[in-house]
Amino acid sequence: MEPKGTILIVDDELGPRESLRMILKPHFTIFVAADGKEALSILRKEKIDVVTLDLKMPGLSGLDILHEIRRFYADVEVLVITAFGSPQNVKEANRCGVRSFISKPFNSMELLNNINNLFERRNYALKAKNQSKYNSLLTRE
């Protein structure tokens, strides 16, 4: 079976990062980053569809990375996976368009369901965006 898309896993902890990679690898092309700098480097080089993002990391926080994703990669969907889902962090992530959150430790079925929903949402948004561009071209003629 051909992978359905690409996922970037961003987590400073090896255990959750590897667990996510093992669960998602049979279904998707996977990239992993242990910190924010590495994550942004991968985003610049690769076509990423979905990012799984830990919020509490040294250096660039998950929220810092999220702001960069929204600024430069608006079509990328984000799933926040964190043990530190404070109301303030959730509110800020929501302002950046994040609608999917999972608490650590995570359940693999819940993870896969959320990921599949994000891909559906992304595909729908891209189709709508392309249709809008197409309609705009038609009205110019």
Query: What pLDDT sits at residue 4?
Result: 79
Report the C-alpha gap between 10 and 31 in whole angstroms: 9
Summarize the confidence of residues 98-127 as an average pLDDT. 88
pLDDT value of residue 44: 96
Share above pLDDT 70 across residues of the chain, in percent, rounded to a whole number: 88
**Percent of the chain surpassing pLDDT 90:** 55
Q: How many residues does the chain have?
A: 141
Instruction: Report CA-CA distances (Å) from 135 to 118, 125, 132.
Output: 25, 15, 5
DSSP letter (8 states) at residue 61: -
Say whether pLDDT at 115 is over 90. Answer: yes
* Helix spans in the chain (H): 14-24, 36-45, 62-72, 87-95, 108-140
> How much is the pLDDT for 1?
43
Report the distance separating Cα 99 and Cα 50, nearest Å: 13
Instruction: Please provide the average confidence, as pLDDT, over all residues in the chain.
Output: 87
**Which CATH number does the domain 6-140 belong to among 3.90.550.10, 3.40.50.10860, 3.40.50.2300, 3.20.20.70?**
3.40.50.2300
Q: What are phi and psi of 48, to 5 degrees?
A: -105, 135
- Give per-residue pLDDT as tens, 18-27: 999 999 999 9
For range 104-111, the mean pLDDT: 90
Would you kindly state where each structural domain of the chain is located, as residue ranges?
A: 6-140
The pLDDT assigned to 90 comes to 79
Give the separation between CA 34 and CA 10, rounded to whole angstroms.
Answer: 6
More confident residue, 45 or 86: 45
The pLDDT of residue 126 is 77
